[in-house]
Structure 1
Amino acid sequence: MSERPLEISLRDLSRSPGSMRDYELMWEVPEDLGTSIMRVAPGSELPIDVAITSVDDGVLVRVHADVDLEGECVRCLDEVHRHHSVDIDELFFEPKAAQRLRQENDEEADDFLTISAKDTIDIESIVRDGIVTLMEDRPLCKPDCQGLCPGCGEKWEDLPEDHEHVVIDPRLAGLAGLFDQLSHQDEN
């Protein structure tokens, strides 16, 4: 596997505005593509379609991918699976054009994506950003998930309607025993 699997050479792309080139890439998903709650399965193959168009000061990059996310419901801990389409449009500037724009706009160096000195672009960061923004911070298996019973840990939807756990505060346990005795005496 290449050190930079989403690096694309622009050497065979004419720099005349409007010139286009399409690429079909296959990315082996790294271990760290996701959050602690949701992620793309590590080691899975992610097909990525890329269309690059020459423009005046660089190239317009259009990326499309269909991605499957997996996670865990925050209420009942069941698996959660989501399918999303990712569409990204990003401009990569020629180094001189980016420098000129920074001077004109008085902006920081990180504000522009640039074409490398080797005449390549690396789209990994924009693909990662596009995927991570789709991940939910509190995924649910379904909108009305009831979660787990705090007493026994079973799913509420699998339990009978009258399911309950009587929890007595240890400080009041003596009173509960007295209450049971009094109830037993009243029955006799």
Structure 2
Amino acid sequence: MDHRTPDPRDPFVLDVHDLGRSPGSMRTFEATLEAPAGFGTDIVTVPQGSSVHLDLRLEAVMEGVYVSGLVTADAVGECARCLTELEIDVDVDVAELFVYPERAAAAAEEQAEDENPDEVYLVDNELIDLEPPLRDAVVMALPFSPLCRPGCKGLCSECGADLNEPENADHSHEILDPRWKALAALGGDADDAADGSAR
């Protein structure tokens, strides 16, 4: 299981020592932070440095610290059909358990033979790192194939014209039968040959 050591200076890292280990103790966390790199996919992403708003509730439970709440941000991308630039509102409900190390060790033993073990996030020296689970939640919420509008017609495969534009409503290209393509390339010579054979 990959795990990065939380850096207390990182704004996505929270100190949860005040919750203690008493199930039921709770506090809220609300902040607007700068998006780190890679907060999205190659198709749609929350730009690095843009605002990510967190409105979270942190609650102590038997296994660790349960974090739930809402993440909001603005993502950018391109329409999958016509390549128009898009702005996409991101509103993601998150719910993640950060597990105490001893509980994580027990869970790891239980999943030892599992080919696809669940991702486990840790409470590390009374710190939790929100960035990995929030990144996963945002990525899962982003559209895989975003469209600028329902039923976007895309671009002409021959010339790249935007088929959504009114002036391109009847856009088309003459498609030659591929069997005649080589003959058509000969141009006048082919026509002359045809005339000669007709005489």
Unpaired segments ≥5 residues, structure 2: 1-7, 195-199
Aligned to 1:152, what secondary structure does the other structure show? coil
CA displacement at 1:164 relative to structure 2: 2.6
1:134 maps to which of 141, 152, 160: 141
C-alpha contact 2:161 2:168 (8 A) present in aligned 1 = no
The residue number in structure 2 matching 1:51 is 57
Identity of matched residues, %:
36
Aligned to 1:164: 172
1:97–1:154 CA distance, 2 compared to 1 (3 A) = same
CA distance in 2, matches of 1:96, 1:174: 75
Are 2:27 and 1:21 equivalent residues in the alignment? yes
1:77-112 per-residue CA deviation (whole Å, 9 max, x = no partner) reads 112222232111111122122223434x25379743
Q: Distance in 1 between matches of 2:182 and 2:130?
A: 62
Q: TM-score, normalised by structure 2?
A: 0.76
- Residue number in structure 1 paired with 2:197: none
Of 103, 112, 116, which aligns to 1:107? 112
Deviation at 1:176, TM superposition (A): 5.6
Code of the residue aligned with 2:123 in structure 1: it is: I
TM-score (norm 1): 0.80
The aligned counterpart of 1:185 is none
Q: How does 1:1-188 map to 2 (within 5 A)?
A: 4-103=10-109, 105-107=110-112, 111-116=119-124, 118-158=125-165, 159-166=167-174, 171-174=182-185, 177=188
Q: Which residue of 2 aligns with 1:186?
A: none
Letter aligned with residue 107 of structure 1: A
CA contact (8 A) 2:162 2:168 kept: no
SS of residue in 2 equivalent to 1:85: strand
Matched positions, count: 178
Considering only aligned residues, what root-mean-square deviation do their CA atoms show, in Å? 2.7
| Alpha-carbon distance in structure 2 between the residues aligned to 1:174 and 1:96 | 75
Which secondary structure state, in structure 1, belongs to the residue aligned with residue 90 of structure 2? strand
5+ residue gaps, structure 1: 183-188
